[in-house]
Structure 1
Amino acid sequence: MQKLTKISDRLYYLPPVQETDRPILGALVGKEKTMLIDAGNSSQHASLFLRQLGEIGIQSDLLVLTHWHWDHVFGMREIPVPSISCKETAGKIKEMQSLSWEDEDLDQRVEEGTEIPFCADAIKKEFAEERNIQVQLPTIVFENGMTVDLGGLTCEIEHVGGDHSSDSCVVFIPEEKALFVGDCLYANLYAEKWNYTIEKILKLIGQLEKYDADIHFLSHHPAPLTKDAFSAFLQLLKNTALLTQKHAGDETAIQQEMTHNLQRNLNEEELETITFFVNGY
């Protein structure tokens, strides 16, 4: 079972689960209000989070969504509080409301290329035969960003986009020096070949580097990243983007120069990152 983890008296998170694509869920506890970050991928996921928060006396008042993907929004009906998203996220969720999530409909969308096989399989595992999925619209919608005062704790929400999902938003808590990144730094999965694009990733890195954070939450990483680890991840993305540009998408040439620069063999993450950039070139 996922176990609620305490970072401080004002910051908690529930770790992710890879098998059914459960992302990290966050709780920001101010003196006046508590904000949850993302709703989870099912009623069971959301209920687990709320129950563990309740066991330590924390009740939710607000919910913010980092983007529209199913694993971040399907738990919304279990969280009966005002919900916040950017305008694009709200529009994408509205489109989802007309979809069926039964096996045959999921399989058809996979065949059409409008659904990802991994996501379809994860939905089947998370929900089994119970598919009473009701996708709810957010109640508070912003354009580019908004700031919420929870009482001695500030939440700065910014729409940053990226390859993974163009509606991606991040949440920065300056008092905790914490940044919830959501999925924005992951590749575009809704493509024939998973990919990064040079222009989008360099723009996104520039947006993220302005935040003075010591702890970084990426939705599907098993644990938060330190400042150094996060900087190293951004540097890998930046270096690979620039090498892809320099070598015009030549995968072998990119690998050779990166190997030379690092003076060692490339690891699995580095090789995968190169492939994703080549796919998007």
Structure 2
Amino acid sequence: MQTLEKLSDRLFYLPPFQKTDRPILAAIVGDNQTLLIDAGNSSNHAKHFKEQLASYHVTGDILALTHWHWDHVFGLREMDMPSIANIMTYDKLKELQELSWEDKELDKRVEAGIEISFCADAIKLELGSMREVIIPDPTIIFEKRIKLNIGGVTCIIEHVGGDHSPDSNLIYIPEEKTLFLGDCLYANMYAEKWHYTIEKMYNLLGKIKDYDAEIYFLSHHPAPLTKDEFASFASLLQTSAELTNKHKGKIEAITEEMSSRFGRNLTEEDLEIITYFVNGYA
């Protein structure tokens, strides 16, 4: 089981768990309220997070969703507190509320290309055979940006979109110089080929640069990234987009120039990201 990590008196996070696709969950402790980030992928995930927080005498008061995907919202009922979502996330949750999550229906959606096989497998493993999923409506709905004052700490939630999910939000805590990016910098998985698109990546990286952060959270990375680590990751994405456009999606030319620019052999992560851009190149 994951163990809660304390970065400061204001900032706690529960690391991800890859086997059942549990994302990072986090808590921002203000003088008056505590903001939780994401609801988890099941009641058990949410319950575990709350129990871990209780060991530090922390209780959540309000919750912000980064986007609509199942692994970030299935624990919403267990969290049992007011929640914040943008209008696009709200609309997608209304759709999820109508779906069955039993094996037969999940398998049908995978076969039809509506659901991802990887996600269906993780749902079965995380939720087991007794599978009741109830997703409450979010409480506070916004369009572009919302700012919270939870006492000594402000939390800025901005809808930024991206390839992974058009409804993606980032959450910025200026007093902690911490930026929660959810899944916004990951590829579009709801497609025949997982991919990035150049324009969306440029737009997203531009928005992220506007925030002065020292700590960066990506929901399925095992630990937060430092400023230098994030700059390296952002450079990989930026360069991959640039070279995909320059070489018109020709992967050999892209990899050759990138290896030359970086002065090293490319890693599996480098090659995977290049492939995603090539897949999305039109």
- Match in the other structure for 1:139: 139
- Match in the other structure for 1:53: 53
- Match in the other structure for 1:277: 277
Moved over 2 A (4+): none
- Match in the other structure for 2:259: 259
Q: Provide the C-alpha distance between the structure 2 equivalents of 1:244 and 1:184, rounded to a whole number of angstroms.
A: 20
Q: Which amino acid aligns with 2:269?
A: E
The Cα shift of 1:80 comes to: 1.5
- Match in the other structure for 1:15: 15
Q: Provide the C-alpha distance between the structure 2 equivalents of 1:90 and 1:109, rounded to a whole number of angstroms.
A: 21
The Cα shift of 1:94 comes to: 0.3
Alpha-carbon RMSD: 0.6
The Cα shift of 1:265 comes to: 1.3
Measured against aligned partners, the alpha-carbon deviations of 1:27-52 in whole angstroms (never above 9, x if no partner) come to 00000000100000000000000011
Q: Provide the C-alpha distance between the structure 1 equivalents of 2:26 and 2:166, rounded to a whole number of angstroms.
A: 22
The Cα shift of 1:54 comes to: 1.2
Q: Provide the C-alpha distance between the structure 2 equivalents of 1:56 and 1:201, rounded to a whole number of angstroms.
A: 38
- Match in the other structure for 2:125: 125
Q: Provide the C-alpha distance between the structure 2 equivalents of 1:56 and 1:35, rounded to a whole number of angstroms.
A: 15
- Match in the other structure for 1:228: 228
- Match in the other structure for 1:174: 174
- Match in the other structure for 2:34: 34
The Cα shift of 1:89 comes to: 0.3
The Cα shift of 1:251 comes to: 0.8
Secondary structure of the 1:152 match is coil
Q: Provide the C-alpha distance between the structure 1 equivalents of 2:50 and 2:14, rounded to a whole number of angstroms.
A: 10
- Match in the other structure for 1:83: 83
Q: Provide the C-alpha distance between the structure 2 equivalents of 1:176 and 1:264, rounded to a whole number of angstroms.
A: 34
- Match in the other structure for 2:244: 244
Deviates more, 1:17-26 or 1:260-269: 260-269
Q: Which amino acid aligns with 1:139?
A: T
Q: Provide the C-alpha distance between the structure 2 equivalents of 1:263 and 1:25, rounded to a whole number of angstroms.
A: 36
Mind listing any 5+ residue stretches in structure 1 that lack a counterpart? none
The Cα shift of 1:278 comes to: 0.2
The Cα shift of 1:263 comes to: 2.4
Q: Which amino acid aligns with 2:268?
A: E
The Cα shift of 1:242 comes to: 0.5
The Cα shift of 1:151 comes to: 0.2
Number of equivalences: 281
Secondary structure of the 2:194 match is coil
Secondary structure of the 1:182 match is coil
Q: Provide the C-alpha distance between the structure 2 equivalents of 1:243 and 1:56, rounded to a whole number of angstroms.
A: 47
Q: Provide the C-alpha distance between the structure 1 equivalents of 2:85 and 2:257, rounded to a whole number of angstroms.
A: 41
Q: Provide the C-alpha distance between the structure 1 equivalents of 2:263 and 2:28, rounded to a whole number of angstroms.
A: 42
Q: TM-score, normalised by structure 2?
A: 0.99
Measured against aligned partners, the alpha-carbon deviations of 1:52-103 in whole angstroms (never above 9, x if no partner) come to 1112211111000000000000000011111001000000000111100001
- Match in the other structure for 1:154: 154
Mind listing any 5+ residue stretches in structure 2 that lack a counterpart? none
Q: Which amino acid aligns with 2:185?
A: L
- Match in the other structure for 1:191: 191
Q: Which amino acid aligns with 2:134?
A: Q
Pair 1:218-2:215 in alignment: no
Secondary structure of the 1:81 match is coil
